[in-house]
A and B are shown apart, each in its own frame.
Chain A
């Protein structure tokens, strides 16, 4: 096993001395510490510096190529194969979450944060948290809305957890699958500069769902205006992450197909948010003190409530 000394940059005279001492020794030249072992990654280079390089726009395509070639060398029936998808540290996951909530205009989420190290930890646990957050918040919100009514008897509504789980996991896996298939098909017709692997698309979708977790908690507030403002706000943030990721992948294509693809992505994302709001959260009633809602909106609320 290589010690830390072997990985440090060797001075020229050392190598020359070594060669002079043993001329027949095989030499390996390591020109740049690109292939840093993963467990030394956090110690040898600060994460901030890496991201500064990215933001400056230095071309790292060869680095990502090298890193991409190193991954997934184990066959898919071994445990080690799946371990390569969980090769993230705490700070990396937190950085990716931050990147999905505060999208940097013009910078690609995949290129900036994922960079050939897609993980399944983030998408899986963000979806799990979202499922339980929506179920619990919906339950709490209904409780507060119907509190005080004589005919109301509180039920935990546990069925909704299964429904929420099915919906969100289906969205987080089937939509990336369809999108990936579609992009592969278009790639065969039109040569695109940017193409994503399936796991990178799953990663982007998973992390882009993070903004809905605080949104779901804030949806407990039983004001219709507040809820819709939250929907629009979170849709803008996560939608912009998705658009900035996928626009470079389709912009070389036929104009109409590119626009249609991006529009479909946004539409499905909006459908998820609105659908969750409509199904899990009962509409606030008219007699609840809501000074913001004018009367004519109140009647539409009643007709829409179930």
Chain B
């Protein structure tokens, strides 16, 4: 074609365009986007979730947030801090008389597992880890009680301090039991509620006893 022989594209003319793939709606899969976020964001998100659950425990309402997004960070932190605070701290910790670190750990976790199994065997509809999550988070009032007890014991170890400690531990024990019952009671069959609530009562009673009988050397 003689006419086309003269057609030439100058090297100066840039060829440009756009190739885009339509993304559509925002993808629900967050995995890819959280990979690039700063570490601070990742940690803060989990910390906020744990903190929100702590608030739910302190003001127990029938919210399902605690049950839906369960996590075991809070129970772990509470269990470790409670076990640490229950250590006498004396040089001769052999015959302390109080529970060892491992004993507190075993009692809390083994006790929570047994209570969860008990409620599931009785016909409860809650999942295993949800129940562990609730029982672990509801140790928070008792950890606060332990902190208060240690502070009171710094001031003195007489009868007055014992009465204060008794009142504080008793109140926190009631709070823990009521909070966990508020979360767990709905998932039980109606004519077996007392059978499920009693082991929870026993569990928090044992923890309260350990806190109340703590005597520093």
Binding site for B on A (CB under 8 A): 42, 79, 82-83, 85-86, 88-91, 93, 121, 125, 128-129, 132, 136, 139, 153-158
Smallest CB gap from B122: residue in A: A86
In the complex with contacts A42-B191, A156-B99, A136-B209 CB distance below 8 A? yes
Q: In the bound complex, what is the Cα–Cα distance between A202 and B98 (angstroms)?
A: 33
CB distance from A93 to the nearest CB of B (A): 6
Contact (A158, B202) CB under 8 Å given A89-B192, A136-B209: no
A158 touches B99 (CB 8 A): yes
Residue B198 is within 8 A (CB to CB) of chain A in the complex? yes
Q: Is the CB of B206 within 8 A of A121?
A: no
Given A83-B121, A90-B195, A121-B118, are A154 and B206 neighbors across the interface (CB < 8 Å)?
no
B120 to chain A: which residues have CB within 8 Å? 79
**Distance in Å: Cβ of B196 to nearest Cβ of chain A:** 9
Does A91 lie within 8 Å of B191, measured CB to CB? yes
| Cβ B202 vs Cβ A156 within 8 A | no
Interface size class of B (residues with CB under 8 A): 20 to 34
Q: Which B residues fall within an 8 A CB radius of A? A: 95-100, 103, 118, 120-123, 191-195, 198-199, 202, 205-206, 209-210, 213-215
Knowing that A83-B123, A155-B96, A156-B213 touch, tell me 6 more A-B residue pairs with CB under 8 angstroms: A86-B118, A86-B122, A88-B192, A89-B195, A90-B191, A156-B215
- Bound-state CA distance A89–B190 (Å) is 9
| A132 vs B123: C-alpha distance when bound (angstroms) | 26
Is A90 touching B199 in the complex (CB atoms < 8 A)? no
A88 adjacent to B99 (CB under 8 Å): no
Q: A157 contacts B97, CB within 8 Å? A: yes
Q: Which residues of A contact B100 (CB under 8 A)?
A: 158
Q: Considering the chains assembled together, what is the distance between the CA atoms of A131 and B17 in angstroms?
A: 80
Q: How far is the CB of B106 from chain A (nearest CB, A)?
A: 10
Across-interface contacts of B191 in A (CB, < 8 A): 42, 89-91
Q: A155-B96, A155-B98 are in contact. Are A125 and B199 (CB under 8 A)?
A: yes
Residues of the A chain whose Cβ atoms lie less than 8 Å from the Cβ of B215: 153-156
Cα(A86)–Cα(B10), bound, Å: 88
B interface: dominant SS: helix
- Would you give the shortest CB distance from B192 to chain A, in whole angstroms? 6
Chain B neighbourhood of A85, CB < 8 A: 121
Q: Which residues of A contact B210 (CB under 8 A)?
A: 156, 158
Query: What are 13 A-B contacts with C-beta separation under 8 Å?
Result: A83-B123, A86-B123, A88-B195, A90-B192, A93-B195, A121-B121, A129-B202, A132-B205, A155-B95, A156-B215, A158-B98, A158-B100, A158-B210
Are B198 and A125 closer than 8 Å at their CB atoms? yes
Known: A89-B192, A90-B191. A121 touches B122 (CB 8 A): yes
Chain A residues, Cβ within 8 Å of B121: 82-83, 85-86, 121
Nearest B-chain residue to A132, judged by Cβ: B206
- Residues on A with C-beta less than 8 A from B122 are 86, 121
Q: Pick the contact of A90: B103, B123, B194 (CB < 8 A).
A: B194
Chain B residue numbers with a CB within 8 Å of A136 are: 209
Given A121-B122, A125-B199: A158 and B97 within 8 A (CB)? yes
In the complex, what residues of B have CB within 8 A of residue A79's CB?
120
The 10 nearest A-B residue pairs measured at CB:
A155-B97, A156-B213, A86-B121, A89-B191, A158-B99, A90-B194, A86-B122, A156-B97, A156-B98, A83-B121
Q: Name the residue of chain B whose CB is nearest to the CB of A139.
A: B213
Residue in chain B with minimal CB distance to A140: B213
Instruction: List chain B residues, Cβ under 8 A from A125.
Output: 118, 198-199, 202
Which residues of the other chain, B, contact A88 by a CB distance below 8 angstroms?
192, 195
**When chains A and B are docked, how far (Å) is the Cα of A276 from the Cα of B166?**
27
CA distance A89 to B189 in the complex (A): 9
Chain B residues with CB below 8 A from A86, complex form: 118, 121-123
Q: Is the CB of B118 within 8 A of A158?
A: no
Determine the residue in chain B with the shortest Cβ distance to A84.
Answer: B121
Complex alpha-carbon distance, A125 and B197, angstroms: 12
Q: How far is the CA of A154 from the CA of B96 in the complex (A)?
A: 10
A100 to B105, CA, bound (A): 35
Q: Report A-chain residues with C-beta under 8 Å of the C-beta of B199.
A: 125, 128
Bound Cα distance A89, B188 (Å): 12
B179 → A minimal CB distance (Å): 22
| Residue of A93, A139, A153, A158 touching B103 (CB-CB under 8 A) | A158
A157 CA to B96 CA, complexed, in Å: 8
Q: A154 contacts which chain B residues (CB < 8 A)?
A: 213, 215
Question: For the complex, what is the distance from the CA of A103 to the CA of B152, rounded to whole Å?
Answer: 49
| A122 → B minimal CB distance (Å) | 10
Cα–Cα, bound, A155→B214 (Å): 8
Query: Which residue of chain A lies nearest to B98 when distances are taken between CB atoms in the complex?
Result: A156
Provide the residues of chain B in CB contact with A157, threshold 8 Å: 97
Residues in A with CB closer than 8 Å to B195 are: 88-90, 93, 121
